[in-house]
Structures are given as structure tokens and as C-alpha cells.
């Protein structure tokens, strides 16, 4: 019988990883950083108003009962002042009482006149504000998912949340107001 002996190999010592340069501690971490002094992209000068808009806007503004097709997260909503919108998603970062300025619109109109944008109407021509009323959620839906020839059943649960907005203000501006604001 052979004598028993232990393996006497040297222990494996792994090298200690050096911290990466990007993970180095920030020496100015406790100092307050000033805001940027200049904008990364300078503001473009406002485009001049088209002649067709100059002729249509006073006629459109003179009539009562305006409607507007606003785009919220890419979805169009045809609304008037006082309408309530139930968005098919929970809008992040808003609380009840917040006032949102809706500046993307593809159509502004009244009973006799309609102004269409390509793809959007100039946001200087109108002012549309919406107030966040709150959020609501639907009842919990449970759908039983099965596969053929399998006894196992899985429950898929869903409870969608919605944001409710009310159009609090819809104003069509005059040509003088637009030119005054852009100068």
C-alpha cells in the first residue's frame, strides 16, 4: 500500500484589480458646480410668418368656438376648451394640479376656417394649456393563459393606469402678438 500524501501546490493568488480611471473618486465632489454659462445649441432666430397665415389668422381668431388637434406623445387628440382627455398611459413626472403647455398641434380650426400644419402648426400662433386632474386605474384584469395539451395554467395580470387632463385654455393669437413676442 502506498503512503498517502497531500497535494502541495502553491495557492493561487489572483491579482488585485486596479480601479478604472472613470471610477476614480471625484476630488470636487463636495463643491457646488455652476450652471453652464452658454447654451450648447444657440437658439435659432424665429422664422417669419407666412403670408397665408397672416391672412387666415385674424379670420380664424375672430370666430368663436375653436378646436385643435394636439399631439401628446405622438397621439392626436381633437379637443376644445373645457374638454377632458383620458390618456391611454400614465404620464410620468406629473401630479394633479400641474399645468401643461401643449405646443404640438396639427390642426387649428373654427366653424368656417381650418389651419393645417405640415406636420405641425407654428406654436407661436396658439396657446393651449391643460391641467392634470389626476390618475385613475382600471380594475385588475386576470387572463388565464394555457397551452395545448398541457395542464399548467398561468395567470397574466394587468392593471393599466391613465392620466386625466382638462383643456383649461385655448387661445388663437393675433399676428401682432406673434410679431411682438418674436422681436
Do 123 and 117 meet the contact criterion of CB atoms below 8 Å apart? Answer: no
The predicted pLDDT at position 120 comes to: 92
The predicted pLDDT at position 166 comes to: 98
Based on the number of CB atoms within 10 Å of its own CB, is 117 exposed (0-12), middle (13-18) or buried (19 or more)? middle
Written as nine digits, the cell of 94 is 406629473
**How far is Cα 72 from Cα 57, in angstroms, rounded to an integer?**
24
The predicted pLDDT at position 103 comes to: 93
pLDDT digits (tens, 9 = 90+) for 60-86: 999 999 999 999 999 999 999 999 999
The predicted pLDDT at position 29 comes to: 63
The predicted pLDDT at position 177 comes to: 85
Adjacent-strand bridge partners of 166: 84, 131
Q: Which residue numbers in the chain have pLDDT < 70?
A: 1-43, 183
Tell me the domain boundaries of the chain: 49-146+154-182
The C-alpha R_g of the chain, in whole angstroms, comes to 30
**Reduced to 3 states, what is the DSSP secondary structure of residue 75?**
strand
**How far is Cα 132 from Cα 143, in angstroms, rounded to an integer?**
31
**Which of 113, 10, 102, 24 is closest to 61 using CA atoms?**
113
The predicted pLDDT at position 48 comes to: 82
The predicted pLDDT at position 8 comes to: 64
Cis peptide preceding 107, ω within 30 of 0: no
Do 170 and 107 meet the contact criterion of CB atoms below 8 Å apart? Answer: no
Do 174 and 61 meet the contact criterion of CB atoms below 8 Å apart? Answer: yes
Amino acid at each position: 500500500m502506498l503512503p498517502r500524501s497531500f497535494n502541495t501546490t502553491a495557492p493561487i493568488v489572483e491579482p488585485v484589480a486596479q480601479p478604472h480611471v472613470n471610477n476614480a473618486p471625484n476630488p470636487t465632489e463636495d463643491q457646488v458646480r455652476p450652471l453652464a454659462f452658454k447654451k450648447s445649441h444657440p437658439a435659432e432666430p424665429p422664422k417669419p410668418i407666412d403670408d397665408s397665415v397672416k391672412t387666415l389668422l385674424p379670420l380664424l381668431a375672430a370666430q368663436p368656438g375653436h378646436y385643435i388637434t394636439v399631439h401628446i406623445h405622438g397621439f392626436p387628440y381633437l379637443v376644445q376648451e373645457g374638454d377632458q382627455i383620458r390618456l391611454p398611459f400614465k404620464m410620468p413626472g406629473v401630479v394633479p394640479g400641474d399645468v401643461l403647455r401643449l405646443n404640438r398641434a396639427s390642426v387649428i380650426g373654427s366653424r368656417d376656417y381650418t389651419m393645417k400644419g405640415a406636420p405641425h402648426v407654428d406654436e407661436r400662433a396658439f396657446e393651449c394649456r391643460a391641467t392634470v386632474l389626476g390618475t385613475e386605474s382600471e380594475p385588475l384584469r386576470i387572463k388565464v393563459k394555457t397551452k395545448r395539451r398541457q395542464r399548467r395554467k398561468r395567470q397574466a395580470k394587468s392593471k393599466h393606469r391613465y392620466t386625466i387632463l382638462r383643456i383649461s385654455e385655448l387661445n388663437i393669437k393675433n399676428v401682432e402678438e406673434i410679431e411682438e413676442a418674436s422681436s
